[in-house]
A and B are shown apart, each in its own frame.
Chain A
Amino acid sequence: MKTRFAGVVASALALALAVAVISVPSSAQDENNGKGKAKGKGGQKGPSGPVVHKPVPRTPDGKPDLTGTWQSGGVSLTGEAGAPPLHPLPPIDNHPITRQALAYKPEFEAKRKGLTTLDDPTLYCLLPGVPRIQTNPMPLEILETPKEVAILYEAFRAWRRIPINDKLEHPDDLVPTWMGDSVGRWEGDTFVVDTIGFNDKTWIGGVGSIHSEQMHVVERYTLNDDGSMTWEATVEDPVALTKPYKTGAVFRTPIDVRVEEYECIENNPDPGHMKKAAEMGK
Chain B
Amino acid sequence: MKHFLVLTLGLILLAAVPAVAHHSFAAEYDSNNLITLTGVISKVEWTNPHIYFYIDVKDESGKVATWSIEGYPPNTLKRTGFVKSDLKIGDTVTVTAYKAKDASNSGAGREVTFADGTKKFAGPEGR
Which residues does A use to contact B, with CB under 8 Å? 17-18, 20-21, 24-25, 27-39, 41, 74-76, 79-87, 94, 116-118, 120, 122-123, 125, 132, 135-138, 154-155, 205-207, 257, 260-268, 270-271, 273-274, 276-278, 280, 282
Contact = CB atoms under 8 A, between A and B. Distances in A.
Interface string B80-113: 1110000000000000000011111010000100
B13 to A, nearest CB: 4
A120 B23 contact: yes
A135 B79 contact: no
B103 to A, nearest CB: 7
Given A31-B19, A76-B76, A277 B6 contact: no
Interface in B38-84: 45, 47-50, 52, 70, 72-73, 75-76, 79-82
Interface in B1-56: 3, 6-7, 9-11, 13-15, 17-24, 26-28, 30, 45, 47-50, 52
Contacts of A122: 22-23
Given A270-B22, A274-B23, A24 B79 contact: no
A277 B102 contact: yes
Given A25-B10, A262-B48, A263-B48, A31 B20 contact: yes
Nearest to B5: A21
A99 to B, nearest CB: 9
B57 to A, nearest CB: 19
The 8 A-B residue pairs with the shortest CB-CB distance, nearest first, are A24-B10, A76-B79, A117-B24, A83-B121, A277-B101, A267-B47, A34-B14, A276-B102
Contacts of A82: 111, 119-121
Contact of A268 (B20, B49, B102): B49
B13 A137 contact: no
B125 A35 contact: yes
B122 to A, nearest CB: 9
Q: How many residues of B sit at the interface, in one of the four size bands?
A: 35 or more
Nearest to B127: A35
Nearest to B7: A21
Given A82-B119, A86-B80, A262 B49 contact: yes
Contacts of B48: 262-267
A123 B17 contact: no
B50 A31 contact: no
Contact of A206 (B19, B72, B76): B19
A87 B76 CA distance: 11
15 contacts: A20-B7, A21-B10, A37-B14, A80-B80, A81-B121, A86-B79, A116-B27, A125-B49, A136-B21, A138-B21, A205-B18, A257-B79, A262-B49, A266-B48, A280-B103
A72 to B, nearest CB: 11
B81 A31 contact: no
B101 A280 contact: yes
A119 to B, nearest CB: 10
B28 A274 contact: yes
B121 A80 contact: yes
A125 B11 CA distance: 30
Contacts of A273: 28, 100-102, 104, 106
Contact of A277 (B18, B20, B27, B75): B27
A132 B31 CA distance: 25
Contacts of B101: 273, 277, 280, 282
Contacts of B111: 82
Contacts of A94: 6
